[in-house]
Chain A
Amino acid sequence: MDEGLVRSLTPSVIGALVRRGADFAAAEDATQEALVEALRRWPSDPPRDPTAWLVTVAWRKFLDATRAQTSRRERELRVEREPAAPVGSAHDDTLTLYFLCTHPSLTSASAVALTLRAVAGLSTRQIAEAYLVPEATMAQRISRAKRTVAGVRLDEPGDVGTVLRVLYLVFNEGFSGDVDLAAEAIRLTRQLAALVDHEEVLGLLALMLLHHARREARRTADGAVVPLAEQDRTRWDTAAIAEGVALLQSALARDRLGEYQAQAAIAALHADARTTAETDWVQIVEWYDELVSLTPNPVARLNRAVAVGEADGARAGLAALDELDPGLPRYAAVAAHLHERDGDLVTAAALYAEAARAATSAAERDHLVLQAARLNQRAAASPAP
């Protein structure tokens, strides 16, 4: 049985329950229980219509839970009278849930957790493991998030931009557990692209696919970071790259550029090159110029300085870096890289060591210490000028 397929039905089941009169929080709980039962029963007894089966079972779970709460007699009566509505537009239900789970009233962490449960259909335990927090903590985060959005009207139109930000967070900041969050983010973005016609949804999907394509080459078997220039490009996933490029082209054809399309364009230019030397750095700098005009994100400016260093030489890159705030995260790492390209190994080594002290992950720190060690060794081997 395909667990992913079962989970992909989650939002339409929740939506069906909500349209029959259940509130979102109760509908979500009942759907989770139905999913658990489906995963247990379907392998030996697959249903003819999985969605209808889930809606029926979830609705029964909802009624059981409602009846159990005798203090809520009023609602029980209302629910009993409610005629069972036909399973309506699953399309609209699913889209509504994306907007609800990424509602601007939620913090990023809450929006991510709620999206993974109600849209992706993951269990609380799976989400907790993915983010390395205790299951009880994640359960609280999700139930608080549900309370926060309890008053949101489900027919309010949402902002695609907030949905994309949350999906990008899932893709970018997911830790490892038994669930592949990057793949999950791609699945959710792909599903969203089928629901709304928006060039930035295509742009984000293209961006994710292009980065995901390099995943195998980005880490060694031990988890050490492999920089782009040193990656074994034969290990890049060419099918994912082809799909990403095609999606990007269809997005760009609409002539409404956004930050995800610009980032995807940069990723596509990297994907297109067989080596760092063959990379079209001039065009990459042009895309960074577009990106910098679209977003205040300082990381884009730092990366632009690296690209300028490749396109116009290390000195030009250092000049571009000079215009930025030295307090930016990864500033020292970028400065180290450019000084090394400029041949100043001693300065570069000191900057790599400084960057290692400011690193925010152990893998990044180890990588930067190694760079410092490598350059100190080379500097010691060659006499000072």
Chain B
Amino acid sequence: MAKYLLLKHYRGAPAAENDVPMDRWTPEEVAAHIQFMQDFASRLEESGEFVDAQALAPEGTWVRFDGEGRPPVTDGPFAETKDLIAGWMAIDVDSRERALELAAELSSAPGAGGRPIHEWLELRPFLSEPPTVTE
């Protein structure tokens, strides 16, 4: 088994094919999208491949250490050009092919007009523990 992270972006990913802001969809299309996302996560739980899913707020701050006894330095809110992650889903699957297949399925979530969004998702393998048997 190998773990992968599926990253969804607010900004920074190549434009989706069906790229319409969600508040411009019909209420039925919004509801269908939400239902699709819930069903997708449930199916992964049932197949034993689900690890975690979280959504992130669309705001954030850069922060760094500024020396002992000094308050942290912050820079924010993020500039409009910054790559912005919307959320993630972590999966534990048999193969890279399976990970690609699931990412594509997630990208097929319905959007405006009830058609798939074809959203670009970022697929990242986790670094794992070294194997017990090495030779």
- A373-B27 contact in complex given A357-B58, A362-B55, C-beta closer than 8 Å: yes
Contact A222 B38 (CB under 8 A): yes
Within 8 A of B (CB), among A336-380: 349, 352-353, 356-360, 362, 365-366, 369-370, 372-374, 376-377
Question: B34 touches which one: A224, A349, A352, A353 (CB < 8 A)?
Answer: A224
A224–B30 alpha-carbon span in the complex (Å): 12
Interface string of A213-236 (1 = CB under 8 A from B): 000000000111000000000000
Contact B35 A356 (CB under 8 A): no
Residues of B within 8 A of A369 (CB): 22-23, 30
Contact B34 A366 (CB under 8 A): yes
Q: Is the interface of A mostly helix, strand, loop or mixed?
A: helix
Residues of B within 8 A of A362 (CB): 55
Min CB distance A93 to B, Å, is 41
| Closest B residue to A361 using CB positions | B55
In the complex, how many residue pairs between chain A and chain B have their CB atoms under 8 Å apart?
42
* B64 within 8 A of partner (CB): no
Contact A373 B25 (CB under 8 A): yes
Question: B24 touches which one: A360, A370, A376 (CB < 8 A)?
Answer: A376
A356–B59 alpha-carbon span in the complex (Å): 12
* B57 within 8 A of partner (CB): yes
Min CB distance B64 to A, Å, is 25
| Closest B residue to A366 using CB positions | B34
Contact B23 A356 (CB under 8 A): yes
* B29 within 8 A of partner (CB): yes
A243–B38 alpha-carbon span in the complex (Å): 37
Count chain A CB atoms within 10 A of each CB in B23, B27, B34, B57 and give the residue with the most: B23
Interface string of B16-38 (1 = CB under 8 A from A): 00000111111101110011001
Residues of B within 8 A of A365 (CB): 55
Residues of A within 8 A of B58 (CB): 357
Contact B27 A370 (CB under 8 A): yes
Residues of A within 8 A of B29 (CB): 373
Residues of B within 8 A of A366 (CB): 30, 34
Min CB distance B34 to A, Å, is 5
Contact A377 B27 (CB under 8 A): yes
Min CB distance B20 to A, Å, is 11
Question: B23 touches which one: A222, A223, A352, A359 (CB < 8 A)?
Answer: A352
Within 8 A of A (CB), among B91-134: none
A372–B29 alpha-carbon span in the complex (Å): 12
A318–B58 alpha-carbon span in the complex (Å): 27
Residues of A within 8 A of B22 (CB): 369, 372-373
Contact A373 B34 (CB under 8 A): no
Identify the 9 closest CB pairs spanning chains A and B, nearest first: A372-B23, A353-B23, A374-B27, A373-B27, A373-B30, A362-B55, A370-B30, A369-B22, A357-B58
Q: Given contacts A349-B23, A360-B57, A373-B29, could you give 5 more A-B pairs where the C-beta distance is less than 8 Å?
A: A352-B23, A357-B57, A362-B55, A366-B30, A373-B24
Chain A to chain B contacts (Cβ below 8 Å), 19 pairs: A222-B34, A222-B35, A222-B38, A224-B34, A349-B23, A352-B23, A353-B23, A356-B23, A357-B57, A357-B58, A362-B55, A369-B23, A369-B30, A370-B30, A373-B22, A373-B25, A373-B29, A373-B30, A376-B23
